[in-house]
Amino acid sequence: MIVSKKFETISAQKSFGGTQSVYRHASTETGCPMRFGVFIPPQAAHRPVPALYYLAGLTCTEENFVVKAGAQRIGAELGIALIAPDTSPRGLHYPSEDDAYDFGSGAGFYVDATEAPWQTGYRMYSYISRELPDLLNAELPIDPARIGIFGHSMGGHGALTIALKHPETFKSVSAFAPIVSPMRCPWGEKALTGYLGTDRNAWRAYDATALIEERGWAGPPILIDQGTADPFLERELKPELIRAACAAKTIPLDLRMQDGYDHSYFFIATFMDDHLRHHARYL
């Protein structure tokens, strides 16, 4: 367990020789307390270790990854710290904040909102890309030069866009069933309109396919797993769009269509080992 004046310990349990903890701190970006899970592997007792951020999807909290993903065993074997933030601010009491599963609480979409009232607290992009890494790099036994990021669904979108814009911070990226182009799916169109307004040009900063077109990616291959039985595959996820964007820029992409798998954590847990080992190769 890490003792810090910067955050409060909610829980801490020994796991695979390391420690799985949940912490809370006062965020300046979101203007409210934010929770995050951290698994510290046993190797951290002797040296700084690489870290891997996991961004969860719609309706989730930090607990989904901590409890369901089954990542601690391989994290301990590989000596990687695992960091699981929440998916949105909580309790800001904005009108309609809790009215829908795909907008507001649990659905921050990893953007910095510009529309009222969301712009004062829904700043998950800056929280994940800057505030939380700055805090944890200073407080945890992790090596800031060896950080990767991955995520699921909305969190896969967040991981891709944040890595593409911050390769100096996040050296590797992967995703499970990501929303690869929120500009071109109902979930994304609703969220980006609500948080950023109706100017679709502003949306491009939070669309992985647009960022690949504009910025490219000079890091290691991008790994994406997508289940063929995912009910959101054709309407919301559209992995063929990122395949085309990467091909046009000759960016190495390992897009694996996994036969019969859906959108659940059973799918994520099945391929978690592969993703952790993918990041370990580059961190």
Measured CA to CA, the distance from residue 8 to residue 231 in angstroms comes to 39
| pTM exceeding 0.95 | yes
State the catalytic residues.
153, 230, 263
Provide the percentage of residues in the chain whose pLDDT is more than 70: 100
- Say if residue 117 is preceded by a cis peptide, omega within 30 of 0: yes
Q: Is the pLDDT of residue 37 over 90?
A: yes
For residue 56, pLDDT over 80 is answered with yes
The separation between CA 53 and the C-alpha centre of its own chain, rounded to angstroms, equals 6
Q: Per-residue confidence at 26, pLDDT binned at 50, 70, 90?
A: very high
Mean pLDDT of the 125-138 span: 98
pLDDT at 161 over 90: yes
Q: What's at 56, amino acid-wise?
A: A
pLDDT of residue 185: 98
Q: What is the pLDDT of residue 5?
A: 82
Peptide bond just before 50 cis, omega within 30 deg: no
Do the bridges between strand 173-176 and strand 222-227 make them parallel or antiparallel, or are there none, so unpaired? parallel
pLDDT (average), residues 115-122: 98
Domains parsed from the chain with CATH numbers = 8-282 (3.40.50.1820)
252's tokens: 């190495």
Give pLDDT, residue 4.
81
Mean pLDDT of the chain, nearest integer: 97
Mean pLDDT of 189-215: 98
Model confidence at 116: pLDDT above 70: yes
Rounded to whole angstroms, how far apart are CA atoms 156 and 150? Answer: 6
Q: Is it the case that residue 3 has pLDDT exceeding 90? A: no
pLDDT, tens digit, 9 for 90 and up, residues 7-23: 999 999 999 999 999 99
pLDDT at 1: 62
